[in-house]
Homo-oligomer: A and B are copies of this chain.
Amino acid sequence: MEQTSRPRRPTLADLAKHAQVSVGQASASINGAPGPSEKTRKKVLKAAEEIGYRPNKLASLLARSATQRVGVAFSLGRSFHTELVEQIYEVAQPLGYEVVLSAVVPQNPVRRSIESLVDARCDGLIIIAAGTVEPDSSEVLRGMPVVHVGSSPSIGRVDVIRTAGDDGLQKAVEHLVQLGHNRIAYFDGGAASGAQERLKGYSEGMRQHRLARHRRVITAGQTYDAGYEAASWLLRHRLPTAVACYNDEVALGLIDHLRTAGISVPEDISVVGFDNGHESRMPSVRLTTIAQNIPQIAQLSFNRIVTELADPYERPQEFVLPPQLVVRGTTTAPSQQPSLV
């Protein structure tokens, strides 16, 4: 009877034997490392082709000191996250770094997600914050380079890279005020990452423009549904002339609910989002929003990892990137005469 256990994959030893060289030469040839002569290399590569050799990454990583891997923890559904992940591939791959993903889902909460990345022996971690961070996972990190993206102000021993949420919301308010708005409400992100700061920016902006008495904060959340839901509160009261939102998703939910209720955006009410994610570009919406520079964040995150890898003395830093107002179609001058301040 034929023994049909699954075929064993050829090892480096098999390859070496087949090519009639030592394992050392075989290894170096495969990795393009200096050493082997051109003749040897050719021979090895040919043999590899013939027997279908593929290096065992596990063994390779185990034997190596640095793994050239960067781990990324992110949320599957949030477009800011997935767009950032895509950009990270864009900067990491060309430099020979592999990106290892771990999705934050109910069955795989942040804590566990980070652990799995550490266990996978990543050289560094990029954690795209969903909600607030538990700083207690720091023991597990053992001083490996970690950058936290979009987190609230510094959480200690790791890098933080974020877009200035306060600045962003002040810009949003400023924009609306210049258009002639004064009853400007805010859809807050609740416990979401960076929510406090954005809220602060809104409040500050309102104060600066002597609009404090028009300040209205509605707690929404960070999803489309949250925005849609929170909009019903708005509809039960006197409408503001404009609403700034924690992020694009919330803004979209709000807009959809308003339009469903027969209220025009931006004619009846202006709306501003935050993130400049791809959905803000939807032709039916063309959301005015506060842009985060995702490619820049990806680049900076990766650079920080590499820098800290190269220099163990490098201290964790906090980077606050400037947001940028992107005016599209959901903001315009208020139709009704604004009440006097």
CB pairs A–B below 8 angstroms (8 shown):
A4-B312, A58-B61, A58-B62, A76-B82, A89-B105, A228-B283, A256-B283, A260-B284
**Interface flags, A306-317, vs B, CB<8A=1, else 0:** 000000110000
Indicate whether A52 sits within 8 Å of B82 (C-beta atoms), given known contacts A103-B101, A107-B94, A312-B4. Answer: no
Determine if A238 is an interface residue (Cβ-Cβ < 8 Å).
no
**Interface flags, A109-138, vs B, CB<8A=1, else 0:** 000000110111100000000000000000
| Assembly CA distance A153 to B284 (angstroms) | 36
Q: Closest CB of chain B to A222's CB: distance in Å?
A: 15
A313 near B58: Cβ-Cβ < 8 Å = no
| Assembly CA distance A312 to B8 (angstroms) | 13
Look across to chain B and name the residue whose beta carbon is closest to the beta carbon of A261: B284
Closest CB pairs A-B (n = 3):
A256-B284, A57-B119, A101-B101
Determine if A140 is an interface residue (Cβ-Cβ < 8 Å).
yes
A119 near B54: Cβ-Cβ < 8 Å = yes
| Assembly CA distance A284 to B285 (angstroms) | 13
A283: chain B residues within 8 A (beta carbon): 225, 228, 256-257, 260
Q: Interface residues of A, CB < 8 Å — how many? A: 58
| Assembly CA distance A52 to B141 (angstroms) | 11
Determine if A341 is an interface residue (Cβ-Cβ < 8 Å).
no
Look across to chain B and name the residue whose beta carbon is closest to the beta carbon of A278: B77
Look across to chain B and name the residue whose beta carbon is closest to the beta carbon of A10: B142
**Interface flags, A284-314, vs B, CB<8A=1, else 0:** 1100000000000000000000000000110
Look across to chain B and name the residue whose beta carbon is closest to the beta carbon of A76: B82
Determine if A33 is an interface residue (Cβ-Cβ < 8 Å).
no
Look across to chain B and name the residue whose beta carbon is closest to the beta carbon of A89: B107
A121 near B57: Cβ-Cβ < 8 Å = yes
Determine if A9 is an interface residue (Cβ-Cβ < 8 Å).
yes
Q: Closest CB of chain B to A228's CB: distance in Å?
A: 5
Determine if A217 is an interface residue (Cβ-Cβ < 8 Å).
no
A89: chain B residues within 8 A (beta carbon): 103, 105-108
Determine if A96 is an interface residue (Cβ-Cβ < 8 Å).
no
**Interface flags, A34-74, vs B, CB<8A=1, else 0:** 00000000000000000010111111011000000000000
Look across to chain B and name the residue whose beta carbon is closest to the beta carbon of A313: B4
Determine if A85 is an interface residue (Cβ-Cβ < 8 Å).
yes
Q: Please report which residues of chain A, range 241-300, place their CB below 8 angstroms from some CB of chain B when the two chains form the complex.
A: 256-257, 259-260, 278, 282-285
Q: Closest CB of chain B to A204's CB: distance in Å?
A: 32
Q: Which of A56, A139, A283 has most B Cβ within 10 Å?
A: A283
